[in-house]
Structure 1
């Protein structure tokens, strides 16, 4: 007789756990998308910020912070309105890295009409998932240049760069820039051949031609038009394709805060240069006149601000050394009689050091104005020349204080005394000692000084000066 096997029943707790798990799976399958892990930027705002002027430490800090803020707000899109003549290579690469690593789609828009994305701006445009331009704008001229070379006026293309620089260092810079820009072009599926021309030949393009040559993705009149044209567009971000849903998305415009504005002011090479000189001259005045307080306080603040700015800027330390040497020589001229040799040498070292101070590669718009250098060199020469004249005249003046000033002076006895007593001289009362008797009101001549006691000789009444 076969054995009857009773059906096994799972414990109640096990049944409840399985039922709850099944219900949870069904619930999560039909939950609204907002409670499920959604695509980054699917429900956030559109974040916009502007970069105007040279790409420097302030622009880098502002762009990096804004991109991080957009990521934190789960933005649907970041729009960078760009108008720049170029800038520092290090600042540009930091912005490019942040754009490439951003999970939020970035659209770089060269606008308004008349704007440009030259030099470093071209790299930022190529690195963005979406590259757009307004009518009447241009991009290109991405050849690395040295500080101090004249940049093109707004709206005009810079002069063509030589196709094959003879300087090996320049050739190395150009090859590196070509590889970098071609890599960005291939990453975004844009015209890599023209990217190479932009570096080797300093080629530039207006907006319409850039669209025809597939250097950019679209042309728009303004930011609202750009957002309208990007609705439903598919872009690749961090290796995955996203469809932009911008309908009804609010546009949040980010503005630089006080820190960014202060950084933009002090990292202007001309401002940093002036702050450096004010700081040095303030400390010189404080050390030469201890206790003045104001020159030392102002000088220390300006010097620290200048050093912070030059830490962020590409500084040639040989130029900084020559500048400091020039100031030291001009100061020495005021104390060491060299018939102007130290002063002239100091002005020459000061001017040469100032010209070399920011002589680095790849940063148009970050050179110190030669006119400012000439003016400050002339002012420094006049300042130390006048100071030297005052010092020479002061040395030639007779001594009016101390032992030398009292020797030979005439005073009046305030009392009768035979050894020691008191006299009035130069409006002051002194203890006096005399080898001969002195009567009250008699004039005495000071012969020497023993501590705080004057050694005097009475003047006979017949010889007293009138």
Structure 2
């Protein structure tokens, strides 16, 4: 009986020991994986592409939690909306950790996470929509944005009034405003007070502790060099600059002997445009092939007299390729128009100042022939000036005369001369012999 009891006690101890060692039974598991994704600088489509790739990578790696470390002054509304959708659709719990500021579009992104954590002395808010000139956007755009802010707040049970006040200065929340007519911005303590922050932590380690993920394996998603380039060249302000530099460089190359700095500058700018948009996931191989085809057609047009079908097809193909590669049709059309104006103005100035040089000189015939070099297009009868003759036909004002035994085709100075009248040759202009009645 004693041996049986010993065996039972041993088995119970064995079961309890190994059961408590199973990962599923521990409060925090060393197998937990936390992905940390930086949301930094301006919010634009390049950042969207990076976050989409990183969230997919976290899902494939079996991450248990994703932390978005936010430090941004805001950015493009469309990109913010897409990033918010990426966060909402993430397959695992998400936390927005404001490490410095989450302003404008950054505040909207943070509100879409399951939880919000803020470091001391950080702030979140001031999310009014502005247009390209820095002024408040139209009422229609403002109304849509306010609804988006409200929906993001309600998504996780937060009081939407504060989110609305971040986008609408007319909402009365004087206790938290910097002044009348200003947009709401919340400090870390204020955000915690109104339920817009679940945690105030000093750093990432303290946040992991607050999330009960102390023993988790932390994976940081780094922005690659290619993605840095993509974020830079997909900025709506940079795109027209790139296209203008690209077109201007190629035009300058036409006035330069050989292939030099202007050509390299132009080709590099256009390469960066397509490379950045390809990395960001906007440009496919079809847009690159279409652009190259357009470039080939333009080169063919340079060697074909006049401006015809090859030129129009080339321009159309190049513009079409840029539209296909862009994330916004309106933005790329405006950028192309800006580049076109810059290119036309530059071409006009260069042509007027430098004339035809470089490859342009080879495409235009500049040599001329003249009598000083021995070239004669027709025989000039200057020796006839002063001679007299008689009209063989009426001169009205052209006709024929006879000088000596030679018959000549002549014209009068403008008057009518009858047949058989005496005339005098007064001038010879090339093959044109002018006579006057005596």
Q: Where do 1:113-152 residues align within 5 Å?
A: 115-149=100-134
Write out per-residue CA displacement over residues 379-429 of structure 1, whole angstroms, 9 at most, x where no aligned residue.
xxxxx2x65233399xxxxxxx95648x64xxxxxxxxxxxxxxxxxxxxx
Taking structure 1 as reference, are residues 283 and 108 closer, same or farther at Cα in structure 2, changes over 3 Å only? same
Verify the 8 A CA contact 2:30 2:215 in the aligned structure 1: no
Cα RMSD after superposing both structures? 3.7
Taking structure 1 as reference, are residues 187 and 317 closer, same or farther at Cα in structure 2, changes over 3 Å only? closer
Q: TM-score, normalised by structure 2?
A: 0.58
Q: Which residue of 2 aligns with 1:323?
A: 338
Taking structure 1 as reference, are residues 247 and 317 closer, same or farther at Cα in structure 2, changes over 3 Å only? closer
CA distance in 1, matches of 2:89, 2:162: 25
Choose the corresponding residue for 2:156, options 181, 184, 188.
188
The total of aligned residue pairs comes to 291
Query: Quick check: 1:206 aligned with 2:187?
Result: yes
Choose the corresponding residue for 1:283, options 250, 254, 261.
250
Q: CA deviation at 1:283?
A: 2.4
Q: Which residue of 1 aligns with 2:327?
A: 312
Write out per-residue CA displacement over residues 60-99 of structure 1, whole angstroms, 9 at most, x where no aligned residue.
1111111111111111211111001111112111111111
CA distance in 1, matches of 2:132, 2:102: 18
Q: TM-score, normalised by structure 1?
A: 0.55
Taking structure 1 as reference, are residues 194 and 139 closer, same or farther at Cα in structure 2, changes over 3 Å only? same
CA distance in 2, matches of 1:207, 1:130: 14
Q: CA deviation at 1:33?
A: 6.9
Verify the 8 A CA contact 2:32 2:216 in the aligned structure 1: yes
Verify the 8 A CA contact 2:30 2:217 in the aligned structure 1: no
Choose the corresponding residue for 2:85, options 97, 103, 120.
97
CA distance in 2, matches of 1:318, 1:296: 24
Q: Which residue of 2 aligns with 1:447?
A: 374
Q: Which runs of 5+ in 2 are unaligned?
A: 1-18, 170-182, 278-321, 358-365, 378-438
Query: Quick check: 1:56 aligned with 2:44?
Result: yes
Q: Which residue of 1 aligns with 2:144?
A: 176
Q: Where do 1:193-272 residues align within 5 Å?
A: 193-201=161-169, 202-231=183-212, 246-272=213-239
Q: CA deviation at 1:304?
A: 4.8
Taking structure 1 as reference, are residues 225 and 294 closer, same or farther at Cα in structure 2, changes over 3 Å only? same
CA distance in 1, matches of 2:38, 2:91: 20
SS of the residue corresponding to residue 138 of structure 2 reads: helix
Determine which structure has greater relative contact order: mean sequence separation of CA pairs < 8 Å that are 6+ residues apart, divided by chain length: 1
Verify the 8 A CA contact 1:43 1:76 in the aligned structure 2: no
Q: CA deviation at 1:285?
A: 3.2
